[in-house]
A = this chain, B = another copy of it.
Amino acid sequence: MSKRVAVIAAGQSKFGTLGKSMKELFIDALKDCELNTKELLTKTEEVYIGNLGVGGSQLGNPAALLIEHGLRTGISAQRVENACASSGFAFRDAYRAIRSGAKVSIAGGVEVMNDLSPLHQKYWLGVSGDTEWERLAGATFAGIYALMAKRHMYEYGTTKEMLASIAVKNHRNAINNPKAQFHKEISLEMALNSPLVADPLGLFDCCPTSDGASVVFLASEEVARKYTDEPIWVTGSGAATDFLALHDRPLISEIKATQLAMKQAINQAEIKHSEIDFAEVHDCFTIAELLAMEDLGFYDKGEAGDAILRNDTGIDGTLPINVSGGLKAKGHPLGATGTGQIVEIFNQLTENAGKRQLKNVQTGLAHNVGGSGATCTVHILRRE
């Protein structure tokens, strides 16, 4: 029996401030899949749902509820929670499920964040950092990433302009993504002069608060061939952890978990970095995209900033990053983000990405980070 794992369908709700329940959002994501998911649901054996449980909807046991509203009971379904990497890990689980013998599995994610007041959102976001040493000591999440940015600036001469340029690019990309939260171009000047959130990060260095859901169907090669002529293969899966609290890490100008997860994924895929055509990376803050460019090994440490200024990672650059708009402008509904990235890779590789379609792409990478880097997944997908 083939050990290959395919993604055969993928969809997502719009991301944004939507006023919908998690159940409605999950149905929206199912309906967005090109394939008839009703039949696929009858063949599904395992379901993994990423959800941080920020909003006041179903705090415990949500996976059964969601799949019930997808009109299916009686199968294995579970919630996976690793902060903002929840559905990156859900995708890894669904991948492992097929490798272990299941014929069809589902990875998805959902988050409702905008039913909370901004104050409560701030409290909830902090739960992804270390409670004892960070959250209860007053560190906000932006504050934690600001420390990493400051250190990167100190070590490598990284500038606020480099960071702001990431925001400008991702906002520009999102204009061509109908599912994105923002459809508004911003100028470098606007980004540089936005209100300071946590020095050196301004408002436009930070991703928004988003509602949304995403869902991906995975299948064995045998099943995939029946449903589609263009299965997208998962050729590499990597996952790693690191110390939860920033102060425990030897270096804070890098995310070690990204480096380790990438090593696993690229070794398994048996490819070189140069064979990866585009990437969706975890840009919860602009500094996070810059760190990802380096820690994924596309650039040496300290060299990503210049690459950004050269527009290497623009839609017509040598390595387009976050063509979807990224977390920054597509939106970041925590639990839905990881599989949301897979949706973009799938759409690009199946040439269903509309106005933002990249030309001649064969291999894409998704990079999903939990907290400030305590957890991370990297997945490599490839079309034949």
Contacts and interface: CB of A to CB of B under 8 A. Distances in A.
A9 interface: no
Given A130-B65, A131-B58, A370-B61, A242 B74 contact: yes
A40 to B, nearest CB: 17
A371 B77 CA distance: 13
Contacts of A46: 96, 239
Given A82-B63, A82-B78, A93-B93, A57 B131 contact: yes
Interface residues of A, number: 54
A267 interface: no
Interface in A50-93: 52-53, 56-61, 63-65, 67-68, 73-83, 89, 92-93
Nearest to A244: B65
A363 to B, nearest CB: 22
A213 interface: no
A257 interface: yes
B74 A131 contact: no
Interface stretch (A97-105, A160-168, A321-329): A97-105
B60 A371 contact: yes
A82 B132 CA distance: 25
Interface in A107-162: 127-132
Nearest to A245: B65
A171 interface: no
A348 interface: no
Contact of A75 (B76, B240, B243): B240
B244 A64 contact: yes
A282 interface: no
A260 interface: yes
B96 A370 contact: no
Contacts of A67: 241
A177 B212 CA distance: 47
A184 to B, nearest CB: 30
A338 to B, nearest CB: 11
A74 B241 contact: yes
Given A82-B61, A370-B61, A100 B89 contact: no
A56 B131 CA distance: 9
Contact of A375 (B78, B82, B96, B244): B78
Contacts of A75: 239-241
Nearest to A51: B81
Contact of A241 (B60, B77, B240, B248): B77
Nearest to A60: B127
9 contacts: A57-B131, A58-B132, A59-B127, A61-B244, A61-B374, A64-B244, A64-B374, A68-B248, A93-B96
Given A61-B129, A65-B130, 7 more contacts: A58-B127, A60-B81, A63-B241, A64-B243, A68-B248, A73-B241, A78-B89
Interface of A: 46, 52-53, 56-61, 63-65, 67-68, 73-83, 89, 92-93, 96-97, 99-101, 127-132, 239-244, 248, 256-257, 260, 370-371, 374-375, 377
